[in-house]
Amino acid sequence: NGLPNSLSMEAVLGALTNPFAKGPLKGIETHNMGTQNFDRIAQKLAVFLPFAKIASSDAHIYWAVGAGRTEFPGRTAQDLRNALENNTTVPIPYEGESSAIAVLSWMRRITMRKFGFASDASSRNSPINTKQLSDSMIQKVQKRGRKKQGSR
């Protein structure tokens, strides 16, 4: 079915029979900006499972925070816990640009970084600004990379 092993029905049902896993297992992610290709399958599985449905942004970059989110009655951490326990969560899927566009944008910035450019923005609403790194900054980054490789 093309799913990661952790998302197979057998793995989930196995976790439900394990007393150590069953307790903390409360929700199933049915919407994720980073794994949209698995969402439909997770949504089908969720129909048969006793879990709260949740959504997340899987944000590794600031502008993706909140792209997918979970609504629940209340405002506190305890309210969220209660909603997960009682399956009263509502997943709100990502409705912006496709994740492919987001990934391509991210890849562009990573590629630019390899050529000595850095991208940043002062806020979510301001445009992304790409600037060439100074020679001293490039040397620091390269030195840090060599240190990491040497410690392996």
What sign has the CA pseudo-torsion 90, 39, 123, 138? Answer: positive
Q: Which two tokens stand for residue 93?
A: 């899927």
How does pLDDT run across 116-143, given as a tens digit for each residue?
776 666 665 666 666 676 777 777 777 8
Nearest alpha-carbon partner for 63 in 38, 37, 33: 33
Domain extent listing, the chain: 5-92, 99-150
131 bridge partner residues: 118
Per-residue model confidence (pLDDT) at position 4? 58
How does pLDDT run across 72-121, given as a tens digit for each residue?
999 999 999 999 999 999 999 877 655 666 667 777 777 877 777 766 66
Per-residue model confidence (pLDDT) at position 134? 74
How does pLDDT run across 20-64, given as a tens digit for each residue?
887 888 999 898 876 777 888 888 888 988 899 999 877 766 667
Per-residue model confidence (pLDDT) at position 91? 94
The three-class DSSP label of residue 28 is strand
